[in-house]
Amino acid sequence: MKKSFIGVLAAISIIAYSCGDNASTTQKEEHASEAHAATEENAEVKVVKASFTNVDAAVAGHIKKLTDNYLLIKNALTNAKPAEAGDAANKITAAIKGFDKSLLSADQKKVYDQQEENLKTTAEHIAKSTGDLEHQREQFSIMSESLYTMVKAFGGGKTLYHDHCPMAKDGKGAMWLSETKAIRNPYFGDKMMECGSVEEEIQ
């Protein structure tokens, strides 16, 4: 147990170093890749299941639609394609507008309502900011927090991974959801593609 704990600490230290500003881009990518591999070896990823078990099929379909378009935004930002991110964001806005909230139970509606406005606002910002990739990424970090809460409550229609980058938002850190376990950083793209770690697996 002690050796395992020391290994985890070592992996965290490597991640902190790999994502630092003192290394070149190539060094950052190499060290981040090593750190990610070390983290995967030494730390078990917490598995989380959706808290609501009685979700209406239409509600589940709606949350999956939001999640699928969120992932399109994530992949577009990872690949530095702001126009594609904008298109997917427009689809999130349309899905929210067309959703029948009467299908939600009282508890479900409370969770949904708490996150709906953030999702809508950030989607609108991302859609209107196709000429400003960094603003899209900033708004995406806020969107990620809201969708994360929804997915933990309702599920996302597929296995998702809660990832975290300690260097995003000027070192404040930011999370995102991914459909793959491999780290592909939407906040830095190819500058620091593998910087980050998997925090949870959401089923």
pLDDT digits (tens, 9 = 90+) for 166-197: 999 999 999 999 999 999 999 999 999 999 99
Residues 6+ apart with CB under 8 A from 94: none
Radius of gyration over alpha carbons of the chain, in Å? 18
Domain range summary for the chain, segments of one domain joined by +: 2-42, 46-202
Give the pLDDT band (50/70/90) at residue 15. very low
The answer on pLDDT for 110 being more than 80 is yes
The answer on pLDDT for 96 being more than 60 is yes
Overall pTM surpassing 0.85 (yes/no): no
Percent pLDDT > 70 in the chain is 79
Mean pLDDT of the region 140-161: 97
Q: Where are the beta strands (DSSP E) in 46-186?
A: 46-48, 160-165, 174-178
Residue corresponding to tokens 């593998």: 194
CA 78, 82, 83, 88 torsion-angle sign = positive
- For the ranges 41-55, 123-137, 169-183, the lowest mean pLDDT is seen at 41-55
The answer on pLDDT for 133 being more than 80 is yes
The answer on pLDDT for 200 being more than 90 is yes
